[in-house]
Amino acid sequence: MLKIKDLHASVEGKEILRGINLEVKAGEVHAIMGPNGSGKSTLASVIAGKEEFEVTQGSVELYGEDLEEVSPEGRAHKGLFLSFQYPIEIPGVSVTNFIKTAINESRKANGLEDMPAKDMLKMIREKSELLEIDRKFLSRSLNEGFSGGEKKRNEVFQMAMLEPKVAILDETDSGLDIDALRIVANGVNKLKSKDNAVILITHYQRLLEYIVPDFVHVLHNGKIVKSGGKDLALQLEEKGYDWLKQETAV
Partner 1 sequence: MAYTEEELKKELETKEYEYGFYTDIESDTFPIGLSEEIVIAISKKKEEPEWMTLWRLEAFRIWKKMEEPEWANVHYDKPDFQAISYYSAPKSADPNKSLDDVDPDLLEMYRKLGISVDEQKKLQNVAVDIVVDSVSVATTFKKTLAEKGIIFMPISEAIQEHPELVKKYMGTVVPKTDNFYAALNSAVFTDGSFCYIPKGVRCPMELSTYFRINQANTGQFERTLLIADEDSYVSYLEGCTAPSRDENQLHAAVVELIALDGAEIKYSTVQNWFPGGKDGKGGVFNFVTKRALCEKNAKVSWTQVETGSAVTWKYPSCILKGDNSIGEFYSIAVTNNYQQADTGTKMIHIGKNTRSTIISKGVSAGKSQNSYRGLVQINSRADNARNFSQCDSLLMGNECGAHTFPYIEVKNKTAQVEHEATTSKIGEDQIFYCNQRGISTEKAIALIVNGFSKEVLNKLPMEFAIEAQKLLEISLEGSVG
Q: Which residues bind partner 1 (CB under 8 A)?
A: 48-52, 68-69, 71-73, 75-77, 81-82, 84, 87-88, 90-93, 97-99, 101-103, 105-106, 109, 141, 158, 162
Instruction: For the CB of residue 47, give the shortest distance to partner 1 in the complex, in Å.
Output: 10
- On whether the CB atoms of residues 82 and 67 are closer than 8 A, the answer is no
CB atoms under 10 Å from CB of 53, counted, come to 19
Q: By C-beta, is 124 or 218 nearer to partner 1?
A: 124
Q: By C-beta, is 100 or 217 nearer to partner 1?
A: 100
Burial 64-80 (b: 16+ CB within 10 A, else e): eeebeebeeeebbbbbb
- On whether the CB atoms of residues 75 and 81 are closer than 8 A, the answer is no
Q: By C-beta, is 11 or 234 nearer to partner 1?
A: 11
Pairing of strands 215-220, 29-33: parallel
Helix axes 117-130, 95-109, angle to 10 degrees: 120
Instruction: For the CB of residue 209, give the shortest distance to partner 1 in the complex, in Å.
Output: 28
Instruction: For the CB of residue 4, give the shortest distance to partner 1 in the complex, in Å.
Output: 18
Longest dimension (CA), the chain: 61
Instruction: For the CB of residue 72, give the shortest distance to partner 1 in the complex, in Å.
Output: 4
Instruction: For the CB of residue 73, give the shortest distance to partner 1 in the complex, in Å.
Output: 5
- On whether the CB atoms of residues 55 and 215 are closer than 8 A, the answer is no
Q: How far apart are CA 142 and CA 221, in angstroms?
A: 35
Bridge partners, 54 (sequence order): 10
Q: By C-beta, is 81 or 215 nearer to partner 1?
A: 81
Instruction: For the CB of residue 98, give the shortest distance to partner 1 in the complex, in Å.
Output: 7
Question: Residue 114: helix, strand or coil by DSSP?
Answer: coil
Q: By C-beta, is 22 or 99 nearer to partner 1?
A: 99
Q: By C-beta, is 21 or 94 nearer to partner 1?
A: 94
Structure-derived torsion over alpha carbons of residues 133, 194, 77, 81, reported in degrees to the nearest 10:
50
Bridge partners, 66 (sequence order): 61
Q: By C-beta, is 163 or 209 nearer to partner 1?
A: 163
Instruction: For the CB of residue 212, give the shortest distance to partner 1 in the complex, in Å.
Output: 26
